[in-house]
Every structure is written in structure tokens, then in C-alpha cells.
Structure 1
Amino acid sequence: MTDSKDFLYPRGRYYGKFNPEYLAFDANLQEFAQRISYICALQTNGKISAEEAYQQIKSLWQQLKSSKQQLGIDEPEESDDED
């Protein structure tokens, strides 16, 4: 039997350039997407209001932006192909 956490919070593989900060941000991004999906489903089914859904999504967006800044991945990396 599979773990219910794996069912409720599936994780995809990370295929980008390996960097611990990118890996952490990818995990944060996947969690953001999953939580947005739940909020949208709750709002669509009338369990929460559109305003409440908007506020929750806005809060999640701010958290995601903050995590990106804290991980220090705001600056685009220099590419060797630009020479």
C-alpha cells in the first residue's frame, strides 16, 4: 500500500542543473502548485469564497517569492555561451 502523503503530495523529479538552492526551490514550487490546486478545487466546489481563495493564493505567492530571495536565486546565472 502506498503512503498517503505520497498520494496527496506527489513530487516530480528535478531535471535542471544540480544546485542545492535550485533543488530546494523546485520542492517549494511543487508544493506551491499542489496547494494552489487544492485552493482552486475548494473554491470551485463552494467550500471557500473567491476572495478567501485569492487571499490564500496571494499569501502563497509571497511565500514563494520570499523563498526564492532567501535561496539567493534572483540573479540569472552567466552562461558560457555568451562569449
Structure 2
Amino acid sequence: MTNKDNFLYPKGRYYGQVKPENLVFNANLQEFAQKVSYICNLETSGKIPPEEAYEQIKALWKDLKRSKKQLGIGEDPFRPDDNTGSNGEN
């Protein structure tokens, strides 16, 4: 069973900055790419219509964006939010 899962759902090695949130996001990104590939193949082979493929990919993209936001990827932890009462000076 493990060999089949590794074949169907390969995971690439992560070479970026090793932090828990980066590793989780990388796993989510690889899963997104794998699912998009399956959806594209199904659409190309005529198994699902283009509109359905688009909607499925759009939903996956929203999930990935939500994951990025929840994990705080790309945010500067030392930069205050605009609504924290700062006077806007940098």
C-alpha cells in the first residue's frame, strides 16, 4: 500500500528554510499541484467539463490561500499591522 501511495502521491524534498509552518505549507502546495494535475488530465480527456475543472481548481486555490494566511507565510512578524494604533511611520 505504501508503494502505491508513494507512486500516486509523490512528495518532493523540501530545501527551503526549515520551520514547521514552511513544511506544512510546502506539503499543502504539493497536494494542490497534484490535484490540479489530476483535474487537468480529467478535463483534457473529456471526463469532466471545463467549467467543472475551473470551479474545482478555484476551490483548491482558495484552500491554499487560506492555508497560507493561517500559517502566516510571507508575513513579517516584526512589522506592526496597520490597525494596531501605529502612526504610520516606518
What TM-score, normalized to structure 1? 0.87
What TM-score, normalized to structure 2? 0.80
Identity level (%):
64
Q: Equivalent residue for 1:81? A: none
- Which structure is larger by alpha-carbon Rg, 1 or 2? 2
User: Aligned equivalents of 2:2 and 2:18: distance in 1?
Assistant: 28
Q: How many residues align?
A: 78
User: Aligned equivalents of 1:44 and 1:70: distance in 2?
Assistant: 33
Query: Which consecutive residues of structure 2, in runs of 5 or more, have no partner in the other structure?
Result: 79-90
RMSD of the alignment, in Å?
Answer: 1.8
Shift of 1:74: 3.6
* Partner-residue secondary structure (3-state), 1:13: coil
User: Aligned equivalents of 2:35 and 2:69: distance in 1?
Assistant: 20
Query: Which consecutive residues of structure 1, in runs of 5 or more, have no partner in the other structure?
Result: 79-83
